Structures are given as C-alpha cells and as structure tokens.
Amino acid sequence: MADTFQAAVVDKYTGNPADFHLTTVTRPQTIGDTQVEIQVHAVSLNPIDYKRAEGMLSLMLPEQFPLKLGYDVAGTVTRVGTSVTRFIVGDRVYGRARRQEVGTIAESVVVSDMALAKIPENVAFNTAAAVPLAGLTALQALEKCGAAEGKSVFVSGGMGGVGMFGVALAKLHFNASEVITTVSTAKISRVKEMGATRVVDYTKEDYTQVLENTADVVLDTIGDAASYKVARPHTKVVSVALLPDGNGLEYFRDGAPPLSFFNGFKFAVAKKLVSGIAWFLTRGFRAKDIAYEYVVMQPDGKALEDVFNPLLASGALKPAIANVHAFTEQGIQDAFRESREGHATGKIIICVKD
C-alpha cells in the first residue's frame, strides 16, 4: 500500500455537512500486536458519527482535530499484528472500530482484532458494512431485555438502523412468538419482510394506546419515554436512544484518557443532571414495576461471526440499504446530510473501493 491515504475529517465541531472534507493521512509504520490494518471497501454511517462531529459527546470525549470519522468498516486485511491468529493478509473482514480507533471513513484503518469477523464469501462489502454497530446494538439490547423463544417483542422504529436489526433478530435469532413494531405507511411492507408480524402505522395511530400492555420485551430505538406503556407490568424496557443514568455516561468514554480537573468536574455535574432527568422520564416505568436500562454497544467480532454470519450467508438477514454514496468530498457530505435528516429507510453506505 501507499505511504499515505485519504480520510474524512472535520477541523472543528460542526453540524454543517459542507465542513466535512478529505485530508491526506500518513500510514502508520507499525501497528499493535492485536491490531489489523484494513484496506477499506465500504463503511456505513450511524447517528454517533454526526453527533461526534457536532460535539455532542465533547463533555465525555474531548476530541483532537482534525477529527477522523466513522466506526463501521468492511474491507480487506493488509497487515496483522504479531499476536493476531484469526486473520491473515487478504481476508475480507468487517466490524465496528473501538473509540480509540475511530476513523473508518478512509482508504485505510487499523482496528483491534477482537472487533472483527470474516465476511461470508457470498456477502458483499456494502452489505457487511451495514451490520456492525447497528446490528450489535440490537443484539446486545435484546439480550439485556430478556428476548427469548415464545416471548412477544416490541421494537420501536422498525426500519431505522437499529430497529430493522432488532426486528430481524427477534424473529430469526431469538424466535420470538410475535414481533411488533412501528413505521410510517411507506415502510410497512419492507418491515414485514424483515420479520415483523404486527405493524402499527404511527402516522395514523398512537402506538402506545393500540399496543398497551402487549409486549414481554421492549426495545426503544427512538427515545420515547412513553414506550413503557407497551410493556406488560413487571417486565423490562431497554433503550438505545432515551437517556442513560449518570453512571451509564461512563460507557461512552470507553477507555478515553483521564479528564482534566475542570472537565472532570463538569462531567460529574453532567452525570448528576442526566441521572435526575432520566429518573423523571422513567417515572411511568416504575409505576408499572418495569425495569429500565440504557444500552451502549460494545464491539464484538465473535458475535458478528457466531450470530450474524450464518444469517447473512443464508440470506435470511438482508440489511436494508437506503443509499450508497461515493468516497468523494461531495459524496461524504451528501451521506452525512442524509444521515442527519433521519428519514432514510435502512443504512447509508459510503463505498470507498469497488
């Protein structure tokens, strides 16, 4: 590979897609013993990508600029660390980079081997790139809220990034007796293809009234504090979009360097404030004796290999892809603009290498 490569960055916190641009980055001379260097073929965007660019996580994760972007990746191995045994040069791999390795919207990236899995031979890079962050988030959330065979599962926002994987996994992996979700009119047929058995059109009905007390398991992907109404009493609701308790904010730091005294003080205050708001928002949960938990996913190459690879290889799981954008400044800006608008049906992909 060349000694330099192109990567997408921002030079300041910004919500303006026009500020996203490509820059030249020097290829590292060495990589860690347990790291893998990847020639990137495709990446997918997630809300955390534009939230980091906007500085929404800056209190917990003060950033250095230029700030590289992107967590999800699919590509070809070009170099492995001395302790890596699961991969060799030339392997097709996919995964979700750790916080310390963020920057997958690039021609090359270095990622921990534990975050990666081989891509099944019959699965395209674009398809694989759509899976890691959203798919693992849905898997880990459903595990935490007790999804299991014979249970009814409700997933809000069934054609969002996490939502579509929640619907599919509830049916294909957890063997739920009923998979209930909400989408707009135009997305009903697609979400049924993903595995939904009951769909509420939220543009026509209030799902909290229509579905009151119907679900054994609730996965909230849209940040709705009223989602507890769908859960039966004495069950559990897991959210990936509402609010964590104060201690939950620590998960976002994911091994980040210690904060300065001033930033540490601000973070401590923020934890107290968020805890108070979360307690208030979840008062309805407590009234029904419903446990509440906020989930921050952790990279897990083994889960990609064990859970997702069989479903992808068999064709049972077909992630919806909203659009594929080119790895150009215009393409990257268009991709982030589409992501921020929040109306895409499925994942937004940036194709780095055909």
pLDDT for 60 equals 65
Query: What angle do the packed helices 161-172 and 132-144 form, to 10 degrees?
Result: 60
pLDDT for 332 equals 98
Structure tokens at 107: 């021609």
Q: What per-residue confidence (pLDDT) applies to 280?
A: 74
Residue range 300-314: mean pLDDT, rounded: 98
What average pLDDT is seen over the chain? Answer: 91
Instruction: Find, among 157, 212, 209, 152, the residue nearest to 182 by Cα.
Output: 157
- What pLDDT shows up at residue 267? 61
Look at residue 40 and tell me whether its pLDDT is greater than 60. yes
The mean per-residue pLDDT over the stretch 333-348 comes to 92
Grade residue 266 by pLDDT with cuts at 50, 70 and 90: low
User: Residue 13 to residues 9, 59, 286, 319: CA-CA distances in angstroms?
Assistant: 11, 12, 38, 31
346 has pLDDT over 60: yes
Averaged pLDDT, 75-86: 97
Q: Give the separation between CA 26 and CA 36, rounded to whole angstroms.
A: 16
More confident residue, 117 or 296: 117
Task: Say yes or no to pLDDT of 59 above 90.
Answer: no
Pairing state between β 92-96 and 72-80:
antiparallel
pLDDT of residue 279: 73
User: What pLDDT score does 308 carry?
Assistant: 98
What lies within 8 Å, CB to CB, of 34 at 6+ separation is 81, 83, 84, 112, 113, 114
Q: Which of 226, 345, 342 is nearest to 284 (CA)?
A: 226
Which residues lie closer than 8 Å to 96 by C-beta, 6 or more apart? 71, 72, 73, 115, 132, 133, 136, 297, 299
Residue 243 has pLDDT above 90, yes or no: no
Q: What integer is the mean pLDDT of 233-257?
A: 72
**Per-residue pLDDT at 43:** 98
Q: Does residue 344 surpass a pLDDT of 90?
A: no
Three-class SS string for the chain? CCCEEEEEEECCCCCCHHHCEEEEEECCCCCCCCEEEEEEEEEECCHHHHHHHHCCCCCCCCCCCCEECCCEEEEEEEEECCCCCCCCCCCEEEEECCHHHCCCCECEEEEEHHHEEECCCCCCHHHHHCCHHHHHHHHHHHHHCCCCCCCEEEECCCCCHHHHHHHHHHHHCCCCCEEEEEECHHHHHHHHHHCCCEEEECCCCCHHHHCCCCEEEEEECCCCHHHHHHEEEEEEEEECCCCCCHHHHHHHHCCCCCCCHHHHHHHHHHHHHHHHHHHHHCHHHHHCCCEEEECCCCCCHHHHHHHHHHHHHHCCCCCCEEEEEECCHHHHHHHHHHHHHCCCCCEEEEECCC
Backbone φ and ψ for 64, nearest 5 degrees, come out as: -110, 140
Q: Which two tokens stand for residue 307?
A: 């859970």
pLDDT at 317: 97
Q: 124-144: per-residue pLDDT in tens?
A: 999 999 999 999 999 999 999
pLDDT band at 18 (very low <50, low <70, confident <90, very high): very high
Contact present, 112 and 35 (Cβ < 8 Å) = yes
For the cut 90, the answer to whether the pLDDT of residue 34 exceeds it is yes
Is residue 158's pLDDT more than 90? Answer: yes
Q: Is residue 212 very low, low, confident or very high in pLDDT (cuts 50, 70, 90)?
A: very high
